[in-house]
């Protein structure tokens, strides 16, 4: 899908009470109750490129419109006359890659982090010459061929995978679909990170196959893990556990509900020469924490990196209770003077709320704590200052008496 001069694009307009100043200052979304949604606007096909005007009909920005979404318009360019085509995509991708190439020695990183990189609803993770694209907005779904072409030119990747799964696509009214757009994949990909080796299943794994966002927090945990017994709960493919092994941990136990993820973690440990110090436990994380306590186990470093318990505001209170419970159960397993790492990737739970829930849980476990470090997502997951949701990841490092 590209724009042409033969057919002028639609115009959508803010309601009189909508805050046009927010758009002028960089806020990237327009909600359904902020836009004039007459019959003409409601008939616009999802993913259509349009010009956004304020209530006085002054052009504000180039947007993509999806009448089926709560976020009815997303700002693509603050130039109201911008042409959204392959050249525009190449410019955005080139700008994003330039920063990653300064930051990382090897091409394993998040290349595009949605709104923060100027491509709303688009995630691109790079695994060497393989790129996994999550087109989580209707416009990106409509332009997936142009996006794949631009990725090939800018990043030089041989294989491009479309990962069309997840909650975000459902909110946009998009179907689930995962397929190889270009090239081929023969199996899990080895990913070097923080001295460890991870195995990423870029076809059938969770999200894009690996979580790059925790990279700096993995590294900080590894500094605490030298000579330590480590427990990594909600481990996925061994994120914290393998980094700790690379940092000199005496042993690491990974707990996860997915047997497939734990098998990849085991392969990673063996590939980096740490197989003898690594073990796994498959099952429900809460049940495993309770069972380990009943068995009298203790660890020098305990890490809990669960999925989002509060992905949206309606789930906030239940999510905070779940984070508190994780903290309480995990704190019981930390040896005196040991370390507890608690993480949240919930958009709806801010840092203050998450920290309070974690502190309550630790207190209910009868432990006294020191908060020694607060970690966030790595720089390949930049935050758009106007969009709090883009700063989703919080990692709290406690020392327990």
Q: Do 294 and 376 belong together in one domain? A: yes
Together in a domain, 235 and 367: yes
Strand ranges in 297-333 using DSSP code E only, listed in sequence order:
299-304
Query: Which of 136, 158, 182 is the last residue before a domain boundary?
Result: 182
Residue 390 has what pLDDT? 85
Query: CA–CA separation, 240 vs 167, rounded Å?
Result: 25
Range of the domain at 55: 11-77
Structure tokens that stand for 234 in this block: 């909600």
pLDDT recorded at residue 4: 40
Whether residue 2 lies inside any domain: the answer is no
Q: How many CA atoms lie within 13 A of 372 on its CB side?
A: 18
Nearest C-alpha neighbor of 256 from the set 277, 229, 286, 230: 286
| Domain shared by 286 and 150, yes or no | no
Clarify whether residues 137 and 249 are in a common domain. no
Give yes or no for a contact between 112 and 96, defined as CB atoms under 8 angstroms apart: yes
Which are the contacts of 143, defined by CB distance < 8 A and separation ≥ 6?
Answer: 1, 47, 84, 89
Q: Is residue 254 part of a domain?
A: yes
Q: Please write the tens of the pLDDT for every residue from 3-57.
A: 444 468 999 999 998 888 899 999 999 999 999 999 999 999 999 999 999 999 9
Pairing between β-strand 71-77 and β-strand 48-53 as defined by DSSP bridges: unpaired
Does residue 141 belong to any structural domain of this protein?
yes
**234 and 383 housed in the same domain:** yes
Residue ending a domain, among 182, 212, 232, is 182
Pair (72, 135) in one structural domain: no
Do both 216 and 298 map to the same domain?
yes
In whole angstroms, give the CA distance from residue 97 to residue 125.
Answer: 11
* Predicted pLDDT at 7: 64
Judgement on whether residues 289 and 387 belong to the same structural domain of the protein: yes
Domain assignment of residue 188, yes or no = no
Confirm whether 297 is domain-assigned: yes
Q: Enumerate the active-site residues.
A: 345
Q: Would 190 be classed as within a structural domain?
A: no
Helices and strands: H and E segment counts in the chain: 12, 19
Entry pTM: 0.94
Q: Around Cβ 184, how many Cβ atoms within 10 Å? A: 9
* The two structure tokens encoding residue 84: 């959204």
Q: What is the CATH number of the domain that holds 330?
A: 3.40.50.150
Local structure of 258: helix, strand or coil: coil
Same domain, 230 and 335: yes
Q: What is the distance between the alpha carbons of residues 5 and 93, in angstroms, rounded to a whole number? A: 25
Is residue 51, in this structure, part of any structural domain at all?
yes
By CB neighbour count within 10 A (0-12 exposed, 13-18 middle, 19+ buried), where does 387 fall? middle
Sheet holding 369-375, edge to edge: 278-282, 251-256, 229-233, 299-304, 334-344, 394-400, 369-375
The answer to whether residues 245 and 392 belong to one domain is yes
Specify the number of domains making up the chain.
Answer: 3
With respect to residue 230, please indicate whether it lies within any of the assigned structural domains: yes
Residue for token pair 């790595």: 378
pLDDT digit string, tens, across residues 133-162:
999 999 999 999 999 999 999 999 999 999
Residue ranges in the chain modelled with pLDDT below 70: 1-7
- 272 and 371 co-located in one domain: yes
Residues 204 and 255 reside in one and the same domain: yes
CATH of the domain at 38: 2.30.130.10
CATH of the domain at 163: 3.30.750.80
């Amino acid at each position: 899908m590209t724009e042409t001069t033969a057919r002028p694009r639609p115009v959508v307009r803010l309601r009189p009470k909508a805050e046009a100043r927010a758009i002028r200052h960089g806020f990237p979304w327009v909600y359904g109750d902020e836009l004039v949604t007459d019959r003409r606007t409601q008939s616009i096909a999802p993913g259509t490129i349009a010009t956004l005007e304020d209530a006085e009909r002054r052009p504000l920005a180039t947007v993509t419109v999806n009448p089926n979404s709560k976020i009815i318009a997303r700002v693509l360019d603050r130039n109201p006359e911008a042409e959204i085509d392959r050249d525009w995509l190449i410019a955005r991708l080139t700008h994003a890659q330039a920063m990653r190439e300064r930051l990382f020695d090897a091409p394993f990183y998040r290349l595009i982090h949605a709104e923060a990189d100027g491509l709303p609803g688009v995630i691109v993770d790079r695994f060497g010459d393989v790129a996994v694209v999550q087109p989580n907005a209707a416009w990106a779904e409509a332009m997936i061929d142009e996006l794949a072409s631009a990725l090939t030119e800018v990043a030089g990747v041989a294989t491009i995978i479309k990962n069309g799964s997840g909650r975000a696509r459902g909110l946009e009214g998009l179907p689930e679909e995962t397929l190889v757009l270009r090239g081929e994949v023969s199996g899990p990909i080895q990913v070097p990170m923080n001295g460890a080796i991870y195995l990423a299943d870029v076809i059938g794994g969770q999200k894009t196959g690996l979580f790059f966002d925790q990279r700096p927090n993995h590294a900080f945990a590894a500094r605490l893990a030298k000579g330590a017994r480590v427990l990594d709960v909600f481990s996925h493919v061994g994120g914290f556990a393998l980094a700790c092994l690379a940092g000199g941990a005496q042993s690491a136990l990974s707990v996860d509900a997915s047997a497939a993820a734990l098998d990849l973690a085991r392969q990673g440990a063996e590939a980096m020469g740490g197989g003898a110090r690594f073990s796994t436990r498959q099952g429900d994380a809460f049940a495993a924490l309770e069972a380990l306590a009943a068995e009298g186990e203790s660890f020098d470093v305990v890490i809990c990196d669960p999925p989002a318990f509060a992905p949206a505001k309606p789930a906030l209170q239940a999510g905070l209770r779940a984070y508190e419970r994780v903290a309480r159960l995990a704190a019981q397993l930390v040896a005196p003077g040991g370390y507890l790492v608690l993480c949240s990737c919930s958009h709806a739970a801010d840092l203050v709320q998450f920290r309070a829930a974690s502190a309550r849980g630790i207190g209910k476990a009868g432990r006294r704590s020191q908060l020694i470090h607060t970690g966030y997502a790595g720089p390949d997951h930049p935050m758009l200052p106007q969009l709090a949701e883009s700063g989703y990841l919080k990692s709290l490092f406690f020392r327990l008496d």
